[in-house]
Amino acid sequence: MMRLAEGVDARFAQWLREGLLPEVKPGVQERSVRTAQALVDAGLRLLEHRVFEALSLEDLCEEAGVTIGAFYGRFEDNKSYFRVLQRVTSLRSQVAFNEFSARILAAKEPGLQTVCEELTLWIVGRYQTNAGIYRSALRQAADGSWEPFRQLGDMYRKELVALLVPLIAHVDASQRVLRVQAAYQMLVGTLVHATLNDPGPLRFQDQAMTRELTRMVLAYLQAES
């Protein structure tokens, strides 16, 4: 068995204290928190190469370096565990987006092209990083598994409207919000399709994917009303 992670991620422990991961059974000892974190991180690693339905409890616990009993000491069942994987992914993405947004806003008068390049690179990177959990959630979307990520997308859209609308003054004022929202929808729609099917000709992990998506978003936002 692999060893447990040496330390506890401060944010993970904070999310537990704040009740943001309600499916994790309560545990006050540091080792209990480390066990839950190790299982979450192990699951996200394994989902890079398989869907959740194909993830055995034995493989998960071996990857995390814990026993099957330790899993059930932290999670009620597979469904609760998968919900935690979604919540942790969403919370980490929110932190990453706040850092991204702060970096963009800190730049002196960033132009539309720069923001589009940075934004597309960031969003593609998030989909590549979280492809496993996204793919599994999309395959189970009928039972509400995509809902946490849909809510995350709603947050992204709201923040991107505030970020991008001031940069498209050439567009009629009545159309600016929709223009930004539609650009985001086209970008994410392409990435969702690539996450599920990766049909090409641009492959999901190709650098060309980011380059061409940047061109698409920029051209659409630059278009006159």
Round to whole Å and give the CA distance between 171 and 165.
Answer: 9
162 CB contacts (<8 Å, ≥6 apart)? none
What pLDDT does 109 receive? 74
- Least Cα distance to 162 among 99, 101, 100 occurs for 101
- The DSSP letter of residue 3 is P
Encode the chain (225 residues) as per-residue pLDDT tens digits: 444 445 568 899 899 989 999 999 886 566 788 899 999 999 999 998 888 888 999 999 999 999 999 999 999 999 999 999 999 999 999 999 999 888 888 877 778 999 999 999 999 999 988 989 999 999 888 788 888 899 999 999 999 999 999 999 999 999 999 999 999 999 999 999 999 888 889 888 888 999 999 999 999 999 987
**Secondary structure of 90-111 in the HEC alphabet?**
HHHHHHHHHHHHHHHHHCCCCC
pLDDT per residue as tens digits for the range 143-160: 888 888 999 999 999 999
- Backbone angle region of 65, left / alpha / beta, with phi > 0 → left and psi within -120 to 50 → alpha: left
What pLDDT does 2 receive? 40
What pLDDT does 67 receive? 94
Predicted TM-score (pTM) of the model is: 0.85
Round to whole Å and give the CA distance between 91 and 12.
Answer: 9
The answer to whether 32 and 74 are in contact (CB under 8 A) is yes
- Least Cα distance to 123 among 192, 179, 203, 182 occurs for 192
Q: Which domains does the chain have, with CATH numbers?
A: 10-74 (1.10.10), 109-222 (no CATH)
What pLDDT does 199 receive? 87
